[in-house]
Every structure is written in structure tokens, then in C-alpha cells.
Structure 1
Amino acid sequence: MAENDLPLFVYNEVEIGEELGSYEYLLTQEMVDLYRRAVDDPDAVFPTIAVKHDATSLSLAYDDQTGSVNAGNEIDLYNPPVPGKKILVTGRVHDKYTRREKPYLVIEATATDEDGRLIEKMRTYQLKKPEELGKKWHPQG
């Protein structure tokens, strides 16, 4: 499906528990090596956190023209991914709420390998009104 064919993201219409896009990719040794260099740790074992599983899942399901600001992340790491294995990522809307009159969306992405081993669960908290950021420092009028 072309990006233009995706439904427009409308915060008030998105439902908690809603499935988002899913996809798979091959984790290569080159990806592992690049991640290890980037974090300056030759033994780093979770390069999947650099892949943006959460944002990709949302972008596969919706044309999100509202933008967002990352307000936080939580990640549970279970098994180190194995280079040469396919990684399957599934996404869903974990939660949404309003705090201080601002809408937040929580996206959960779950990664498993081709053998069914759970790799990680990542939850990303997004402020869905990015224009609100900085207003307290730059009040109007």
C-alpha cells in the first residue's frame, strides 16, 4: 500500500489495543557491528533498539501529519537477537491519555525472531501536539 493510501492519523479515533503495522527484517552482522560502534561497546547485544520498531509500526498503519515529540521510552529486553535471523515486529496502541490538556499516545512494539524467541517489548510515549513544546518559554502576547 502506498503511503498516500494510508488513513490519516486522527488521535480521537485511535483505539487502545488497536493493531498497527507489522514487518520483518533480517538482522545482519553488519547491523550488529554498526550498532556496537555507535554505542562504543564492542559487546553490545541488543542492536534492535536502534531500529525504531515503534515509529515504523505507526507509519505502516497511518499517515501521521500531526507529528509528535518523544516523551519517553520503556523497553523490556528478553533474549539477545542473533545475526542472520529474521526479526518480526508487531505494533499496537498500548495506551492513550491526556495530561495537562495535552494528548499522549503510547505505542508498543514487540520483536520476536524467526524461531519465536521474544527479543524485546518497547513502549514509546508520544506527545501528539508538538506545537505545545516550548510554549512555557515563549508565551504568546
Structure 2
Amino acid sequence: MEPFQRYDEVEIGDVYPTAPLAFEVSAAVVDGFLVATGDDTGLYAGADDNRRAPSMVASVYLIDLLMARRSPPGGIHAKQAIRFHRPLAVGETLEIQARVVDKYVRKERPYVVSDFEARGSDGGLAASGRITSIWGRDL
């Protein structure tokens, strides 16, 4: 587990993690996602070798991305925006990485803004977005 990072150590342009996180969009992940969201439409049924996955599955991996750059205790996930660029397929691997694009203080609270990208095995962009976090208090 990465150590906590102080706010004054965070720099615009920082990329995290150094090597992208990789996740397989497995049938089990898709099935669990469909159960959790109550999606029983059948749109994502079929043989795994030709099965699509809900694009929103890419957002499941944001927690691990946020943990790769650890704020001290008390941090708050303030907001996020996600864009989906293409359908996902069961069995493909996504690589996710982020870059700090802004940091500022508002109402005496430090904020960090990061843009992220999730790319498929072919390097094509599957999802992208922006995450705004209120940084935890430095220890």
C-alpha cells in the first residue's frame, strides 16, 4: 500500500500510478455489475467470446485508481465526470491511469483535480473523465 501523500507534494502533471493499473472485464465482473445495478434487460447476455459489457463497468475500477494516490485520512471524493468512448467486451483488459491537472484551496480545504483514461488492449480509448477530490488533512 502506498504511503499517504502530503498536499504540498502533489504537483500538476503528476501521473499515477507510474505504470497503468490493468483490469480484466471478466464475465464475473459483468454479472456482478448487472446484479448490483438491477439490470435484467438481457442486453449483456450471450456467449462470453462475443459478449458486450456495460460501459459503466469501467468506473468500477476508479476506486483502485484513487487508492494509487493516497490522500491522508479525511479526504472526500467531491465529484466525477465520465465519458464512454466505445463499448466494452467481456474478456478485454483495461489499463487505467490518471494525471493531476489542477490543485487549489477553497474555503480552507485543499482540492486536487485529475483526468483519467481507461484504454483497451488495443490502446483505444474506452473511457475518460475527471475526478475532483478534497485532500485529507496533512499529518
Shift of 1:66: 3.5
Give distance in 1, aligned partners of 2:88 and 2:37. Answer: 17
Structure 2 counterpart of 1:45: 54
Residue of 14, 32, 57 corresponding to 1:18? 14
**What's the CA shift string for 1:66-123, capped at 9, x where partnerless?**
4411111111111121111111111221221111221111122210100122111121
1:120 equivalent in alignment to 2:120: no
Give distance in 1, aligned partners of 2:109 and 2:115. Answer: 20
Give distance in 2, aligned partners of 1:57 and 1:66. Answer: 17
How many residues of Structure 1 are paired with residues of Structure 2 in the alignment?
Answer: 123
Going from structure 1 to structure 2, the CA distance change for 1:37 and 1:110 (only over 3 Å counts) comes to: same
Q: Which amino acid aligns with 1:122?
A: G
Going from structure 1 to structure 2, the CA distance change for 1:56 and 1:94 (only over 3 Å counts) comes to: farther
Q: Which amino acid aligns with 1:98?
A: V
User: Are the equivalent residues in 2 in contact too, given 1:20–1:90 (CA < 8 A)?
Assistant: yes
Runs of 4 or more above 6 Å deviation: none
User: Are the equivalent residues in 1 in contact too, given 2:71–2:135 (CA < 8 A)?
Assistant: no
Gaps of 5+ in 1: 131-141
Give distance in 1, aligned partners of 2:70 and 2:111. Answer: 17
Gaps of 5+ in 2: 44-52
User: Are the equivalent residues in 2 in contact too, given 1:57–1:90 (CA < 8 A)?
Assistant: yes
Q: TM-score normalised to the size of structure 1? A: 0.76
Give distance in 1, aligned partners of 2:124 and 2:70. Answer: 31
> Higher strand share goes to which structure?
2
Q: Report the identity percentage.
A: 27
Report the RMSD for the aligned CA atoms in angstroms: 2.0
Shift of 1:64: 3.3
1:1-141 equivalences in 2 (<5 Å): 3=1, 6=2, 8-21=4-17, 22-41=20-39, 42=41, 43=43, 45-46=54-55, 47-52=57-62, 55-60=63-68, 62-129=69-136
Q: Which amino acid aligns with 1:76?
A: R
Q: Which amino acid aligns with 1:112?
A: R
Give distance in 2, aligned partners of 1:119 and 1:79. Answer: 5
